[in-house]
Amino acid sequence: MKFEAGGITINTNATLPVVYVISDSVGETGEFVVRAVASQFNGGRVEIRRIPYVDDKASIVEAFDLAKDSGAFIAYTLVVPEMRAYVKEMGLKYDIPAVDLLGGLMDTFADFYKKQPHYAPGSMRQLDAEYFKKVEAIEFAVKYDDGKDPRGILRADVVLVGISRTSKTPLSMYLAHKRLKVANVPLAPEVTPPEELFMVPKKCIGLIINPEQLNEIRQERLKTLGLKRNANYAKYERILEELEFSEKVMKKIGCPIINVSNKAVEETAGTILDILNKGGNISG
């Protein structure tokens, strides 16, 4: 059986069609595009062989030699004009189709914005690094949420401490999207605070809240859980006891204290980021 794609005839009877992807980065973008197109033919069955981090002409020649030996064609994601031109030249010399996956789009961007691209190989790698750093921070926040493992306190960029329902978890996730590794530790009079908190006071941020607001929040929480609103968890006296205890712990740590009453998560997170940027302490 044979099929044609862009004037290229590929025999699918014996082996999978082969495409060499030449890239000045890891080649993920090129492979993704090739697979997306291949999905329209032959059930998407194609063998992709990446040739990554290409920054010299010798590597391009080697790629064409390999493609010639295996009856393959070339797809490439190169940003430097000289390298793109050389691939095109080699395609004509070897009589092997070479498809420029980025060039046309870059030229369109340049025409549209009336600007020239940076022609900086590996720019996507920098974006990918930021993305994976964010993912790592989110995974960290989940792993060390609610004091699950005190070892996270020493590994974190930020440690949030406070009694229940002071927005520790949503703040942790919000800051994780800012690529910060955040651990949070609940405080309660019956539980001795982890000693690790006192080892990293500059990482810690204390969270407090007005007792009246916390009372309402906890009552709603009990209602959601189908429990009685007069449970000890939501009693005003209990809340005062917890707040008094938490402030003593925070003062012992020597960390900044933020009152989260009537504040959106974004607002409190902004205050935390300001503290980190200034390296100072605030209270209130």
- Binding site membership for ADP: which residues? 162-169
Residue type, 237: E
Count of beta carbons in the 10 Å neighbourhood of residue 107: 13
Which positions make up the binding site? 162-169
CB 217 within 8 A of CB 165: yes
Question: Sign of the C-alpha dihedral, residues 234, 240, 241, 243?
Answer: positive
* Residue reference for tokens 């064409």: 64
Question: C-alpha distances in angstroms, 271 versus 183, 225, 232, 253, 268?
Answer: 17, 32, 32, 19, 5
